[in-house]
């Protein structure tokens, strides 16, 4: 008998960079509960401009190869999954500067800061994010 899948409550979620890439290029890599969560139209999904910046840097340095340019990938995800862009605001930068040094990745730290300021749950498989006072789900 198949184990039941926990379906998370509805809410507001910030996609970590890898979660966005999995959604677009390898949805089978998302846990079933996360696939159900992102498919639920009652949820509001966000992607940070920091994630797009990170993707672009990885493409330029050859660490990541996309099937589409990053702007077209985002357009597709906005259309297919109704994802909203989350700009980087001064409150996010201030929160980023105040964070403890639990994790050194500046992009992940910005996602933590944005999630804390905006009251979002981060969809991420990075265990290090749990060291911060922020909701993380995977």
Spans of all domains in the chain: 12-137
Greatest C-alpha distance within the chain: 51
The per-residue pLDDT for range 30-62, each reduced to its tens digit, is 999 999 999 999 999 999 999 999 999 999 999
Provide CB contacts within 8 A for 108, sequence distance 6+: 16, 124, 126, 128, 129
Superfamily of domain 12-137: 5'-nuclease (3.40.50.1010)
Q: What is the DSSP string of 100-123?
A: -SS---HHHHHHHHHHHHHT-EEE
pLDDT at site 131: 92
The per-residue pLDDT for range 11-30, each reduced to its tens digit, is 999 999 999 999 999 999 99
Mean pLDDT of the chain: 91
pLDDT at site 102: 87
The per-residue pLDDT for range 76-108, each reduced to its tens digit, is 999 999 999 999 999 999 999 999 988 889 999
Global pTM?
Answer: 0.89
């Amino acid at each position: 008998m198949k184990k039941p899948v926990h379906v998370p409550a509805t809410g507001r979620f910030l996609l970590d960079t890898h979660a966005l890439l999995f959604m677009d290029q390898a949805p089978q890599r998302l846990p079933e509960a996360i696939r159900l969560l992102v498919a639920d139209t009652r949820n509001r999904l966000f992607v940070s401009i920091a994630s797009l910046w990170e993707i672009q840097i990885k493409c330029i340095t050859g660490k990541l190869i996309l099937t589409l340019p990053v702007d077209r990938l985002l357009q597709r995800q906005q259309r297919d999954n109704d994802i909203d862009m989350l700009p980087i605001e001064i409150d996010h930068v201030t929160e980023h500067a105040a964070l403890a040094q639990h994790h050194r990745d500046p992009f992940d730290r910005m996602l933590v800061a944005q999630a804390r300021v905006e009251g979002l749950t981060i969809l991420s498989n990075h265990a290090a994010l749990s060291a911060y006072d922020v909701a993380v789900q995977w």
